[in-house]
Amino acid sequence: MCRFRLSNYLRIAIAVGAVVLGLAILQRVLPAQSADTAAQGQSSDQFTPSHRTISGAIREFFYIRSKPVQPIAYTHKVHLGNGMQCTDCHVGVDQGPDARIPSVNFCMTCHQVIATDKPEIKKLAAYKARGEDIPWQRVYGFEPEAHVKFNHAPHIRAGVDCSVCHGDMRQQTVAERKVDHTMGFCIDCHKQKGASVDCVTCHY
């Protein structure tokens, strides 16, 4: 019998490989976690975990967020470059919690006639023809576990520019998350501006 000696590094590699394989199997057995559906754990009679999968839990811990894939390659650069303002589309931003993304009807008011030959605009028209709204995927948001209720209106009233939290959208085509909304990011600005840092201001 020959002695099969494993180096220490190989032992570690095997151990890590086994864990990753296990996660991969879990990933196939359990459905993939989506960025914008609420985390629903696999509940048992006694325990309902806050994350659906272990990989989901690990990702949340390290603030790894999946990159959203949008149904239409909307480009902020072109629209803002043509003189539109943020609030032309995101109308709710100074009125309440949600900035709002307009429905397909709003886009079609212009795109009935503008750039109708472009493939992305054709996709837009197809949604409208089917009577469906565009299923935009969420780019910015907080995990449900954070229990954060964010309200846009007070921030606009305080004069905070959109680009402070969302980056310079004039450089972006499809919306990307350029700014990480960690709690530190929020608290830093709140402290600087003298806004309340009481827990209950945002977590309730």
Look-up of token digits 């811990």: 61
Of 55 and 86, nearer to other proteins (C-beta) is: 55
Q: What is the nearest approach in angstroms of other proteins to the Cβ of residue 191?
A: 26
**Residue ranges in contact with other proteins by CB under 8 A:** 7, 9-10, 12-13, 16-17, 20, 23, 27, 32-37, 55-56, 58-59, 62, 64, 66-67, 69, 71, 92, 95-98, 100, 103-105, 128, 131-135, 137, 151
Half-sphere exposure of 161 (CA within 13 A, CB side): 6
CB 51 within 8 A of CB 33: yes
In the complex, the smallest distance separating the C-beta of residue 147 from other proteins, rounded to whole angstroms, is 15
Closest distance of CB 74 from other proteins, Å: 15
Contacts of 50 (CB under 8 A, 6+ apart): 39, 41, 57, 145
User: Positive or negative, the Cα torsion across 57, 59, 62, 66?
Assistant: negative
Residue 152 · residue 99 · CB < 8 Å: yes
Nearer to other proteins, 134 or 195 (CB): 134
Q: Looking at beta carbons only, is 35 or 165 nearer to other proteins?
A: 35
